Every structure is written in C-alpha cells, then in structure tokens.
A and B are shown apart, each in its own frame.
Chain A
Amino acid sequence: MEAYLRYEDVEIGSVYPPEPVLFEIGDGNVDAFLAATGNESDLYDERHGARRAPSMIASVYLIDLLTARRSPPGGIHAKQAIRFHRSLAVGETLALQARVVDKYVRKERPYIVSEFEARGSDGVLAASGRITSIWGKDQ
C-alpha cells in the first residue's frame, strides 16, 4: 500500500486517482448496503428482469474514491453534496474520479474539498458532487 499523503502535499487541482477507479454495482454490495442501513424498500427487488440499485450506494463507492486519495486514518466527513442524474442498475460499472478544488484550515482543523463524478460505462454522468473532509492526523 502506498504511504499516506500529508496535508501540506495536497495540491488544489490535483486529480485522484490519476485514472478513474471502477466500481461494479453487484447484488452483493447492494444487499450488504441495504442490510447495513435497514433498508427494506421494495424499490430494489428484482422486477422486470433488471434490479435497480439505490443511488446512495454512492456512500459506498465514495469510500473507494477517498481511499484513492491516500488520506491518513482518523479523518472526518464534514460536508457532502450529491446530485443524482439517473437511476442505477445492478450489473453496471461506474468510473469514479475526483479533483481537489479547495483546502483551508478553520479552527485549527485542516479541510480538503473535492468534486467528484461517477460515470457509467457509456460515459454518461450518473452522479456528481462535492466532498468536504477534515484531514486525519498526518502519520
């Protein structure tokens, strides 16, 4: 595993990861997400031959994206904005990438702001948004 990035080395404008990270929406990760959040909605039952996936599985794939940022443990999610552009289906693969758009220190806490996009294999935007994180203690 690569070493953790230090806060002072995070550059505004940097893109992570350099190539989009792929996230496959499968029955397994959808079932685990629904179970962990106590979501028993019939929206995600298999119907008409295709199974819909909850768009907020974004909260799972964003972790893959943040892991690619190589931030140290102990960080905290401070703000989150997400816009969904279409529904998701089990079986599709999303390509994820983010860009650091701001960094600042407030009340002695170091913040990083990133904007992300999730696109389907056809390149069409599925979700986009902004992540504001408090950086964990540098290792």
Chain B
Amino acid sequence: MNADISQVSAIGGSAPGRFIAGESLPVLSRHVTQRMIDDYAKASGDFNPIHVDPDFARNGPFGRTIAHGLMTLAFAAQMLNAWTNGAFDESGEIDVTFIAPVFADDLLEITGTVEEIFEREGKPAARVRLMCRVGDRQILAGTAIQPFEPIRKS
C-alpha cells in the first residue's frame, strides 16, 4: 500500500532505507481543473491554445483543451521530492513519454515503484518506474533515477 503524500512529506532527512527495490513511493493526487490549467499557463507563459482556448482545441486532435504535459511532469517532481526529502531537486533525473492527455476535471494520481538499485557514476541509485493514471487511463510512462548516499557502517 502506498503512503499518502502528506505522511511522507513529514519524513526528515535522506533515509537510505527507503531506497530498496520493490519500495512503493507516495501517491500524489491532483484534481485538475481548467482554472488550474489557466493558472499554469500564466505561471509558465505557455498559452498554447490547445491548453487554454476551447474553440481552438475543439478542432484539435483531442476535441477539447488538455493540461500541459509539463504540468504533469511538475506533479511527478513534487511526488519525487516528497519521497526523497528534496534530493530529487539536487540530483534527480526523469525520463517520460506522454501517452494520453489530461483533461479538465480529471483526477490524476502519480506514484512509482523502485525497480532496481544500480550503480551510476560510482554511486548507488534507485531506478523508479513511474505510474501516472486517471482512472484506467495511463497518462505517462517512464522512469526516474535518484542517486543516494549509502549507509556506512563503522
């Protein structure tokens, strides 16, 4: 069972014990509204009409406005920072393919599972399989990588 993100954000410091293959990451949930999409457009400066202009979007590939893919990516980063207590900001990596759009009024859920621990550039790192869904609809596919400091036994 995944932890709720409000519980995980309370964990202080880097906790290497969490970097274990099979570990479930916290779940971040967002109810995406057209207002959020509009606010994100203002924050990012991305006023692509496919996001903010219903008339334009009606004739586009999805028939209505869609959320910015980078907004979904920002949610993923938020979840990963909660899991790593901010280490993702410093040394994390993410690689995703946007599979399906997020529409206004969708309830988005993002989480992940540690697939493996491997060595990268002389340091252990966790490879996370990301999961991002709206109901049964998969929104993105991809992985994140988070290097971490191993526990040193004296």
The interface of chain A, by Cβ under 8 A from chain B, is: 29, 32-33, 35-39, 41, 43, 52, 54-56, 59-60, 62-64, 67, 73-88, 136
Query: Do B46 and A83 have beta carbons less than 8 Å apart?
Result: no
Contacts of B88 in A (CB 8 A): 55, 84
User: CB within 8 A of A33: which of B30, B74, B97?
Assistant: B74
Q: Could you list 26 A-B pairs, sorted by A, with CB under 8 Å?
A: A33-B43, A33-B44, A33-B74, A36-B71, A37-B40, A37-B74, A37-B75, A38-B30, A38-B36, A39-B78, A43-B81, A43-B89, A52-B86, A54-B74, A55-B89, A56-B78, A59-B44, A60-B45, A63-B70, A73-B50, A77-B68, A79-B98, A80-B69, A80-B96, A81-B93, A86-B91
With A41-B78, A55-B77, A76-B50 as known contacts, state yes or no: A36 contacts B40, CB within 8 Å. Answer: yes
* Given A37-B71, A84-B93, residue A78 in contact with residue B78 (CB < 8 A): no
Given B45, B61, B70, which contacts A77 in the complex, CB threshold below 8 Å?
A: B70
- Which B residues lie within 8 Å of A35 (CB)? 39, 43
Please, which residues of chain B bring their CB within 8 A of the CB of A75?
Answer: 48, 50
- Chain A residues within 8 Å of B45, by CB: 60, 63-64, 67
Chain B 20-48 per-residue mask, 1 if CB under 8 angstroms from chain A, else 0: 00000000001000001001101111101
Take A32-B43, A77-B69 as given contacts and tell me if A86 and B77 are in contact as well, using a CB distance cutoff of 8 Å. Answer: no
What's the nearest-Cβ distance from chain A to residue B15, in Å? 15
B interface SS class: helix
Most A Cβ at <10 Å: residue of B9, B46, B56, B60: B46
**With contacts defined as CB atoms under 8 Å apart, how many contacts are there between chain A and chain B in the complex?**
122
- For B, the interface residue count at a CB cutoff of 8 angstroms equals 39
The complex places the Cα of A19 from the Cα of B90 at a distance, in Å, of 26
B120 to chain A: closest CB distance in Å?
11
Give residues in B with beta carbon < 8 Å to A. 9, 30, 36, 39-40, 42-46, 48-50, 56, 60-61, 68-71, 73-75, 77-78, 81-82, 86, 88-98
Question: Which chain B residues border A39 with CB–CB below 8 Å?
Answer: 74, 78
Q: Which residue of B lies closest to A132 (CB)?
A: B97
